[in-house]
């Protein structure tokens, strides 16, 4: 308990000191690409029609995208309108069209520069430091790795993107509102191939069938959708598997989720060779912890299918989890 | 059912025509660039399962359409005066369907979404059980009261009727959830306020109904682009009828500091105070969590080091203090480029449990794992002509007091070869091997209950010309288990071939033919075997 209080105090002192240090840095010019907007005058914003004169295919693609509507809001400030809202003021770009420091090119910007540009408008969901602490940010994955401001007309797909083993009647639909480049499983599977391979095992979460999505369980970044999950008390799984939410009079601690690692002590969430996504089959699962019951306690039986410990997730009536 | 399908087909077709003719903007405003035309997509087809064998295993997760069916139909309403919208239906009137729609007003400041999804499936058993189903309805609204501050509301209803092989009880339940939130820029930082309400109801009356009410307040203070500190407080009340309330209060402090252009530091502190008054066996009174990480970038390589400490203060059923088991975890990740074309990632973690929990069972040795180790090496890259990845991972779980060690080794590699600018081949192989040893020396040992699995996939993507494309995917798996109790579903194999040929006509029409001969075998109990030669012929038209 003492370490927790000490850590909290030290943390506050360190960050108060850092705040003083960073106050001096705030006086300097903001980093690229925010510096483009910081030094722009109102006349530097030339309007989207000017951009369309040189970038016609990109402009057509932008027009067809959901981004076009908010970028044409007449009440929006000049620096958040049209092409220039994302790519920077047109007049500065026209000073030297070859200079990459005078325009924001999302395919060439670093992940931090992309985040700085996107979060100028998406501050209602996330701020830079919230993005910064995500695992994706730490692994160098940028917003545009998954999201598409508008389609790149030079990179149109011409073939269906069905994964091997993916059900051809899938109801997995690309999330157009989140402007994702592809379906979630195809996007996430570009890096997380091991997990996608597990979805092809005989028992799996129906992700390839389109019944669930990666973000139903994983928080890719802070979002309103993440609020729906039941993380604070028993882990994410009980959001959908609500029958295990409890609390039960007799909890199956340590795998109940209050302590220990919870559900993943017994289940492999992506896919498994065993029914119910279990790590091990039959009584072998229980023997991972209850080693003393291995060959002596009713050998030759499955702990729950035999009708004995049927309430493995918790019971309100029996301390040995034999009745619900 | 056939009549219903025909009616729905007619309704969707009429809506498409309506959107094509009526919803078009009368004339584009002179000041702006012309808006895109309204867009509707209608897809319909015919399907045959050609199934022999177990339809329960075939429909374990989803039910494909049968005979005539509606595919994905979409109507996009063009932007007009700052508002736009869309409607879509997928698999209308089939066992599995989803419907949805969205609308945007005030140039994106007010948005709303609605989705309904139904999924029908079977538990894989030869026993006669009814078809299970899950229906989820979701709705959400968001209003931006300023460019940086939004109010939001979301609602979901999840109904589940899930039937299992006896003696497992069926699930007949629903969960209703709604939340309301306000978040965005407030003063010098970011404010989040949220209230949520969740109600779980079990219609079999086996489990008590549960209501969870919770609120959360969080404030993030940013010091320029380099510093952020966020504090959050959340409280949840868990209520069951006739029982005292349960409470969870969670206090968290996050911080991140970009020390220089190459180094950053972040930290998370969290404390959960838990009050579970009616739990009769050991439970947790307080959880404490501290995590600190440093990331450093050097010569194109990224190094991340993280230390985590977690502890759970446990109490007995009579509320007396028991112990505080403590887990310490060290994690590291190193990633960077090897030459111009390859990227290497190494990651590892080691977790150790100290202050062992006291067990009141007949065998007092701890039931928790006291050590977990994992390591993963991953190499990826190549040339535009030939690229691929190779990954090897080890996960190990130990409980020294019980002489237990479980290990999973996973090998996965994949290759993509660009045959020509229009055609590419890919292949993938994954093998997972589990081993275990424990004090169980006689057969069956713990190792006898673990399975190994092998997965192989190959595929071809070929854009034959501008109008025609072909996709072929072959996936094959096999699992192996000593299976001492000779149970179903443990020694299985399957091969799934999916071939898809698509032809695009001018004016947006498209026809595709999918042939999927799928095969599943259980080497112990053949009752779950199936063979199918699924054929789906789909046509789609754009207006």
Q: Provide ipTM, 2 decimals.
A: 0.89
More confident residue, A307 or B202: B202
CA distance A145 to A156: 16
The pLDDT score that the predictor gives to residue B65 is 87
Q: Is residue A250 part of a domain?
A: yes
Average pLDDT on B133-160 reads: 94
| Total number of domains in chain A | 3
Instruction: Name the one residue in this structure whose structure tokens are 């081949």.
Output: B425
Q: Please tell me which of A16-20, A248-252, B349-353 the model is most confident about, judged by mean pLDDT.
A: B349-353
B525 three-state secondary structure: coil
Least confident of A125-129, B193-197, B286-290, B499-503: A125-129
Chain B positions touching A59 (Cβ under 8 A) are 33
**B-proximal residues of A, 228-267, CB under 8 Å:** 228, 230, 232-233, 240, 242-243, 245-251, 253-254, 258-261, 265
**Cβ separation A173–B88 shorter than 8 A:** yes
Average pLDDT on B265-279 reads: 91
Q: Is residue A186 part of a domain?
A: yes
Average pLDDT on A161-167 reads: 61
State whether residue A47 sits within 8 Å of chain B by CB. Answer: no
**Cβ separation A280–B450 shorter than 8 A:** yes
Instruction: Tell me: do A187 and A250 sit in the same domain.
Output: no
- Identity of the residue in B171, B224, B276 whose CB atom sits nearest the CB atom of A22: B224
Instruction: Tell me: do A236 and A311 sit in the same domain.
Output: yes
Q: For residue A131, is pLDDT > 90?
A: no
**Structure tokens, A274:** 């065993």
By residue range, what is the domain housing residue A185?
169-227
Residue that is last in its domain, among A227, A249, A272:
A227
Average pLDDT on B154-168 reads: 92
- Digit-coded pLDDT (tens) for B473-514: 999 999 999 988 888 889 999 999 999 999 988 777 889 999
| Confidence label for B385 from pLDDT (cuts 50, 70 and 90) | very high
Q: How many Å from the N-terminal Cα to the C-terminal Cα in chain A?
A: 36
The pLDDT score that the predictor gives to residue A152 is 66
Q: For residue B22, is pLDDT > 90?
A: no
Q: For residue B2, is pLDDT > 50?
A: no
**B-proximal residues of A, 125-144, CB under 8 Å:** 125, 127-130, 132-133, 138-140
Q: Is residue A283 part of a domain?
A: yes
CA distance B194 to B184: 12
DSSP summary character for residue A180 = B
**Cβ separation A247–B107 shorter than 8 A:** no
Chain B positions touching A22 (Cβ under 8 A) are 223-224, 226-227
Q: Please return the burial class of B533, using the count of CB atoms within 10 Å of its CB with bins 0-12, 13-18 and 19+.
A: middle
DSSP summary character for residue A162 = P
Instruction: Tell me: do A174 and A74 sit in the same domain.
Output: no
**Cβ separation B79–A69 shorter than 8 A:** yes
State whether residue A219 sits within 8 Å of chain B by CB. Answer: no
Average pLDDT on A229-248 reads: 82
Q: Which of B497, B490, B123, B503 is nearest to A167 (CA)?
A: B497
Q: Is residue A107 part of a domain?
A: yes
Q: Report the mean per-residue pLDDT for chain A.
A: 83
The pLDDT score that the predictor gives to residue B365 is 87
Instruction: Tell me: do A207 and A294 sit in the same domain.
Output: no
State percent of chain B over pLDDT 90.
Answer: 57
Chain B positions touching A130 (Cβ under 8 A) are 190, 220, 228, 230
Instruction: Name the one residue in this structure whose structure tokens are 């209308």.
Output: B92
State whether residue A308 sits within 8 Å of chain B by CB. Answer: no
Chain B positions touching A165 (Cβ under 8 A) are 457, 473, 475, 496, 498
Instruction: Tell me: do A248 and A281 sit in the same domain.
Output: yes
Instruction: Tell me: do A298 and A273 sit in the same domain.
Output: yes
The pLDDT score that the predictor gives to residue B518 is 93
**Cβ separation A288–B446 shorter than 8 A:** yes
Q: Report the mean per-residue pLDDT for chain B.
A: 87
Instruction: Tell me: do A247 and A261 sit in the same domain.
Output: yes
Nearest chain A residue (CA) to B195: A227
Instruction: Tell me: do A112 and A125 sit in the same domain.
Output: yes
Average pLDDT on B68-92 reads: 86
Q: Is residue A273 part of a domain?
A: yes
Nearest chain A residue (CA) to B414: A193
Average pLDDT on A288-302 reads: 84
B12 three-state secondary structure: helix
Instruction: Tell me: do A251 and A179 sit in the same domain.
Output: no
Q: For residue B20, is pLDDT > 60?
A: no
| Confidence label for B15 from pLDDT (cuts 50, 70 and 90) | very low
Instruction: Tell me: do A201 and A217 sit in the same domain.
Output: yes
Instruction: Tell me: do A47 and A112 sit in the same domain.
Output: yes
Q: Is residue A121 part of a domain?
A: yes
The pLDDT score that the predictor gives to residue A241 is 92
Chain B positions touching A277 (Cβ under 8 A) are none
Q: Give the ranges where B318-376 is alpha helix by DSSP (H).
A: none
- Digit-coded pLDDT (tens) for A77-88: 999 999 999 999
The pLDDT score that the predictor gives to residue A4 is 66
The pLDDT score that the predictor gives to residue B477 is 94
**Cβ separation B222–A64 shorter than 8 A:** no
Q: For residue B30, is pLDDT > 50?
A: no
State whether residue A169 sits within 8 Å of chain B by CB. Answer: yes
Q: Which of A74, A23, A140 is nearest to B31 (CA)?
A: A74
The pLDDT score that the predictor gives to residue A173 is 63
The pLDDT score that the predictor gives to residue B154 is 95
- Identity of the residue in A210, A273, A307 whose CB atom sits nearest the CB atom of B453: A273
DSSP summary character for residue B538 = E
CA distance A265 to A284: 13
Q: Is residue A157 part of a domain?
A: no
Instruction: Tell me: do A93 and A199 sit in the same domain.
Output: no
Q: Is the four-CA dihedral B339, B342, B343, B346 of positive or negative sign? A: negative
Average pLDDT on B400-419 reads: 93
The pLDDT score that the predictor gives to residue B212 is 93
Q: For residue A134, is pLDDT > 90?
A: no
B393 three-state secondary structure: strand
Q: Is residue A78 part of a domain?
A: yes
| Confidence label for B18 from pLDDT (cuts 50, 70 and 90) | very low
Average pLDDT on A169-192 reads: 77
Least confident of A27-41, A145-159, B187-201, B321-335: A145-159
- Identity of the residue in B440, B485, B494 whose CB atom sits nearest the CB atom of A202: B494
CA distance B515 to A225: 37
More confident residue, B55 or A8: B55
Nearest chain B residue (CA) to A318: B280
Q: Please tell me which of A132-136, A260-264, B309-313, B506-510 the model is most confident about, judged by mean pLDDT.
A: B309-313
| Confidence label for B115 from pLDDT (cuts 50, 70 and 90) | very high
């Amino acid at each position: 308990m003492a370490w927790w209080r000490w850590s909290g105090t030290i943390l506050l002192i360190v960050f108060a000191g850092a705040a003083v240090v960073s106050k001096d840095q705030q006086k300097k010019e903001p980093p690229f690409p925010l510096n483009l907007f910081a030094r722009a005058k109102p006349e530097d914003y030339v309007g989207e029609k000017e951009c369309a004169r040189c970038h016609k295919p990109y402009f057509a693609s932008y027009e067809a995208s959901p981004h076009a509507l908010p970028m044409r809001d007449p009440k929006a400030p000049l620096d958040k309108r049209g092409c220039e809202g994302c790519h920077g003021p047109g007049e500065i770009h026209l000073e030297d069209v070859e200079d990459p420091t005078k325009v924001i090119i999302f395919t060439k910007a670093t992940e931090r520069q992309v985040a700085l540009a996107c979060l100028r408008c998406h501050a209602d969901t996330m701020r830079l430091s919230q993005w910064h602490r995500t695992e994706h940010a730490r692994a160098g994955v940028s917003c545009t790795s998954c999201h598409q401001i508008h389609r790149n007309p030079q990179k149109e797909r011409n073939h269906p993107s069905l994964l091997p083993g993916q059900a051809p009647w899938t109801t997995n639909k690309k999330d157009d509102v989140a402007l994702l480049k592809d379906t979630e499983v195809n996007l996430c599977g570009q890096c997380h191939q091991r997990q996608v391979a597990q979805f092809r095992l005989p028992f799996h979460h129906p992700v390839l069938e389109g019944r669930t999505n990666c973000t139903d369980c994983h928080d890719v970044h802070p979002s309103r959708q993440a609020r729906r999950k039941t993380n604070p008390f028993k882990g994410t799984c009980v959001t959908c598997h609500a029958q295990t939410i409890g609390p039960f009079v007799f909890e199956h601690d340590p795998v109940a989720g209050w302590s220990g690692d919870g559900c993943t002590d017994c289940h492999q969430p992506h896919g498994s060779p065993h029914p119910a996504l279990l790590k091990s089959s039959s009584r072998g699962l229980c023997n991972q912890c209850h080693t003393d019951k291995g060959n002596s306690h009713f050998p030759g039986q499955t702990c729950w299918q035999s009708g004995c410990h049927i309430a493995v997730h918790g019971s309100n009536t029996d301390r040995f989890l034999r009745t619900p | 059912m056939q009549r219903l399908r025909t009616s729905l087909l007619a309704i969707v077709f009429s809506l498409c025509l309506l959107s094509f003719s009526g919803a078009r903007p009368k004339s584009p405003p002179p000041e702006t660039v012309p808006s895109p035309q309204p867009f509707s997509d209608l897809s319909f087809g015919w399907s045959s399962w050609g199934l022999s064998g177990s339809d329960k295993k075939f429909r374990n997760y989803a039910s494909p359409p049968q005979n005539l069916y509606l595919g994905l139909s979409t109507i996009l309403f063009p932007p007009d005066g700052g508002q736009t919208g869309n409607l879509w239906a997928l698999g209308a009137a089939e066992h599995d369907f989803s419907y949805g729609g969205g609308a945007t007003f005030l140039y994106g400041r007010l948005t709303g979404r609605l989705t309904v999804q139904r999924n029908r499936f079977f538990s894989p058993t030869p026993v006669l059980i009814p078809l299970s189903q899950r229906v989820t309805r979701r709705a959400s609204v968001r209003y931006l009261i300023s460019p940086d501050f939004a109010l939001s509301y979301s609602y979901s209803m999840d109904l589940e009727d899930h039937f299992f092989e006896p003696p497992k009880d069926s699930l007949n339940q629903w969960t209703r959830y709604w939340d309301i939130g306000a978040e965005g820029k407030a003063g010098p930082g970011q404010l989040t306020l949220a209230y949520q309400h969740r109600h779980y109801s079990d219609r079999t009356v086996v489990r008590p109904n549960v209501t969870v009410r919770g609120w959360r307040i969080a404030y993030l203070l940013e010091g320029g682009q380099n510093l952020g500190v966020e504090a959050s407080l959340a409280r949840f009340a868990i209520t069951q009828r006739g029982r005292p309330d349960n409470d969870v209060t969670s206090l968290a402090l996050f911080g991140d500091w970009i020390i220089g252009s190459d180094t950053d530091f972040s930290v998370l502190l969290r404390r959960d105070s838990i009050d579970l008054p009616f739990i009769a066996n050991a439970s947790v009174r307080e959880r404490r969590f501290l995590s600190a990480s440093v990331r450093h970038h050097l010569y194109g390589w990224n190094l991340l080091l993280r230390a985590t400490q977690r502890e759970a203060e446990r109490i007995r059923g009579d509320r007396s203090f028991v112990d505080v088991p403590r887990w310490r975890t060290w994690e590291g990740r190193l990633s960077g480029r090897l030459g111009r074309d390859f990227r290497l990632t190494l990651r590892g973690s080691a977790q150790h449990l100290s202050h062992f929990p006291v067990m009141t069972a007949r065998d007092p040795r701890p039931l928790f794992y006291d050590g977990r180790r994992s390591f993963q090496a991953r190499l990826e890259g190549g040339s535009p002509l030939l690229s691929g990845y190779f990954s090897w991972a080890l996960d190990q779980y130990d409980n020294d007091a019980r002489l237990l060690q479980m290990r999973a080794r996973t090998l996965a590699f994949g290759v993509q070869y660009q045959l020509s600018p229009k055609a590419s081949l890919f292949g993938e192989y994954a093998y997972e091997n589990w081993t275990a040893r424990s004090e169980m020396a006689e057969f069956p040992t713990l190792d006898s209950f673990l399975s190994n699995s092998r997965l192989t996939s190959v595929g071809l993507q070929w854009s034959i010309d501008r109008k025609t494309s072909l996709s072929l995917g072959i996936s094959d798996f096999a699992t192996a288990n000593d299976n001492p109790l000779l149970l179903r579903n443990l020694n299985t194999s399957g091969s799934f071939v999916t071939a898809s040929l698509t032809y695009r006509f001018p004016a947006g029409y498209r026809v595709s033919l999918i042939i999927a001969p799928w095969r599943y075998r259980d080497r112990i109990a053949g009752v779950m075997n199936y063979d199918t030669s699924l054929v789906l012929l789909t046509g789609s038209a754009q207006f």
